[in-house]
Amino acid sequence: MLILILSITIQAFFSPGGGVRDAIIEEIKGARQQIDVAMYILTDRELSNAIVDASNRGIEVRVILDELKSMEIKYSKHIFLEGKGIEIRLDGSHLSRNGKYKGIMHHKFSIIDGSILITGSYNWTHSAEELNDENILIIKEAENIIKEYEKEFKKIWERSSSIKSPPVLNPYNISQLKKNIGKWVIVVGKPSNWNISRSGHLFIDFGDSKDDFTFLLWKEGVDKLKDRGFHFELLDNSVIELQGKLILHEKYGLEIVTDSPDAIKVQ
């Protein structure tokens, strides 16, 4: 749907099946100077790659995410984006003195070149694109409205914090790992074993028991590594660096589970 009000244009898109992600990516591709994103949750790979591509062609990109949610979910892209040179800040200003959250940074908007506003219910997630009933408006040349959103972005940006460097852990130090459950971590060590399952998932083990640490890369991430020409045989004798959210699975023990091929590096 396209609405014209004098020089202002407003387009409405809906999901699932309404082309929301494609519409956002199209606007990102057209950016000339700056992209500001304030998003409660950002897990979508295609949208993340789009803003990385924009940054790589010289566009200034700033992203604000809710701190609590980014730390809670396994597939948040904040570490990935920071690693690609994107300026990321996490808003944890709703944290009270007793350590509990009284609110969240629940915005879902983006401003492009100071002249395009993308706003609505749509988080930048796979679920928002494929499963949920969501909406966005793409509003262009609404100067007064966009200025208000710029003020809001500036306010939250100034109160938010840069990402702290994740701790670097030894995969064989179980007590150290357990102290960092629920955190984004970097794990560096030489695997004891690895295999690609029949389903195409990559398992990298650091021990043989349930209590030991395992890294799991889903098939889509494995396929990306194959496309890049990754030499899996290097995992036999190399020290590797893994990153992601460390969890304690009730059945499988200490794990990092991810779909990102960038979560694994051979040193």
Residue 101: its pLDDT value, please? Answer: 61
pLDDT of residue 99: 52
What confidence category does residue 263 fall into, taking pLDDT thresholds of 50, 70 and 90? confident
DSSP, collapsed to helix, strand or coil, labels residue 152 as: helix
Mean pLDDT across the chain, nearest whole number?
90
Q: What value does the mean pLDDT take over residues 18-26?
A: 97
**Which residues neighbour 17 within 8 Å (Cβ) at sequence distance 6 or greater?**
none
CB of 158 closer than 8 Å to CB of 202: no
Higher pLDDT, 183 or 153: 153
Q: Which of 143, 162, 181 lies at the terminal end of a domain, its last residue?
A: 162
Does 109 lie in the same domain as 10? yes
pLDDT per position as a tens digit, 161-179: 887 778 899 999 999 999 9
The answer to whether residues 138 and 10 touch, using CB atoms and an 8 Å cutoff, is: yes
Distance, in Å, from the CA atom of 8 to the CA atom of 4, rounded to the nearest integer, reads 6
Taking 80 as the threshold, does the pLDDT of residue 6 lie above it? no
Question: For position 142, which CATH number holds?
Answer: 3.30.870.10
Residue 231 has pLDDT above 90, yes or no: yes
Do 27 and 125 fall within a single domain?
A: yes
Q: Is the per-residue pLDDT at 4 higher than 90?
A: no
Query: Do 91 and 172 lie in a common domain?
Result: no
- The pLDDT assigned to 54 comes to 97
Residue 249: pLDDT band (50, 70, 90) is confident
User: Strand locations in the chain, DSSP E?
Assistant: 2-5, 8-15, 34-39, 60-66, 87-91, 108-112, 116-120, 134-140, 161-162, 168-169, 184-189, 193-196, 202-206, 213-217, 240-249, 253-258, 264-266
| Mean pLDDT on 23-41 | 97
Pair (51, 74) in one structural domain: yes
pLDDT of residue 1: 56
Give strand pairing partners of 102: none
Quick one: which of 224, 218, 229, 213 has its CA closest to 196?
218
Query: What percentage of the chain carries pLDDT values higher than 70?
Result: 95
pLDDT at 262: 82
Residues 47 and 28 in one domain: yes
Final residue of a structural domain among 162, 195, 226: 162
pLDDT of residue 53: 97
Read off the pLDDT of residues 218-230 as tens digits, 9 standing for 90 and up.
998 899 899 999 9
Higher pLDDT, 246 or 94: 246
Same domain? 113 vs 229: no
pLDDT of residue 59: 97
Say whether both 89 and 205 belong to one domain.
Answer: no
- Domains held by the chain: number: 2
Query: What is the rounded average pLDDT of the residues 224-253?
Result: 90
119-135 residue pLDDT tens:
999 999 999 999 999 99
Q: What is the pLDDT of residue 161?
A: 85
Backbone dihedral region of 214: left (phi > 0), alpha (psi from -120 to 50 degrees) or beta?
A: beta
- Six token digits for residue 83: 């690693």
At which of 110, 129, 162 does a domain end?
A: 162
Helix (H) or strand (E) holding 81: helix 78-83
Lowest mean pLDDT among 18-32, 148-162, 187-201, 250-264: 250-264
Enclosing domain of residue 155: 2-162
CATH number at residue 236: 2.40.50.140
